[in-house]
Amino acid sequence: MSNQRAEGRKLAILAADGFEQIELTSPKEAIEAAGGETKIVSIEKGFIHANKHREHGDSFHVDMSLEEAKADDFDALLIPGGLFSPDALRTNDRAKDFVSKFFEQKKPVFAICHGPQVLISANLVDGREVTGFPAIQQDLRNAGGKVKDQSVVVDGGLVTSRSPDDLGDFNAKIVEEICEGKHARQLESVTA
């Protein structure tokens, strides 16, 4: 892991029921180990339930609802994958608006596995280099993304990854990018 320090950096983790547990916990631990802070944001307050592949996972306390959360209060955003969480988020207008604000504010956004589906529905993929779980790579292409089949793809503050197998590379990039701060390229996909 990197020696970079993320003190004073705050990561929003946007998830709903049915997220892939390791895709939330592993990056969360990486940011916290580097000195950063994390908050779980979801559609409603209470608890959200994880999956461990096809099995039920643990429950996680939601720190704030989308109604309460503001992109202004965070330095970066993480969208874990899983089969059900991205589906719930991509059809939620507040979730899409929350994600879009990070791009408008030129802040790093991290999405893994099926997480990039939220970016597709928020119209944030067109012209960007991305990756995702193999089953959604064609969806990313259809949305105008330039898909690369790599463990992690970085495009001006947008960091995407394929699956839990790639978490080592993904976590290292998350820490690096949150330490770097804002990226001018993030805004291009919103204003283009």
Active site residues: 113-114
Closest to 101 in 3D by CA, of 65, 77, 82, 121: 77
Q: Is residue 128 helix, strand or coil?
A: coil
- Reduced 3-state DSSP string for 102-117: HHHCCCCEEEECCCHH
CA–CA dist 132, 38 (Å, integer): 23
Contact 132, 160 (CB under 8 A): yes
Other CB atoms within 10 A of residue 73 CB: 11
Contact 172, 88 (CB under 8 A): no
Burial class (CB in 10 A: 0-12, 13-18, 19+), 157: buried
